[in-house]
Amino acid sequence: MNFGAGTVVANLRHDGAPVDLTVADERRTTGRRKFGAVVGHGTKTGIDTSINAGVTLAPDSRTTVSESVTRDR
């Protein structure tokens, strides 16, 4: 994987709820207040990309410059 300069991965929800994560096409709680993202092999992000907590990026995913990733892809 290659994170472009300034890429940020959130690891905390501001509402204090546990971070949810998709596992086998089902959204489940991690039971954790802090949890980053799951990033697949070969993924590349554009400069200044922001990735929300609990997001999964599939292998070989791409983001554009200054993109805010709020959902799995």
* Domain-wise residue ranges, the chain: 1-67
Which residues of the chain are under the pLDDT cut of 50?
none
Per-residue confidence (pLDDT) for residue 43, from 0 to 100: 98
**Per-residue model confidence (pLDDT) at position 42:** 98
Q: Which residues contact 10 (CB under 8 A, 6 or more apart)?
A: 36, 37, 50, 51, 52, 53
CB 15 within 8 A of CB 33: no
* Amino acid 60: pLDDT: 98
Segments in 1-73 forming alpha helices (H): none
What is the predicted pLDDT for the residue at 30? Answer: 96
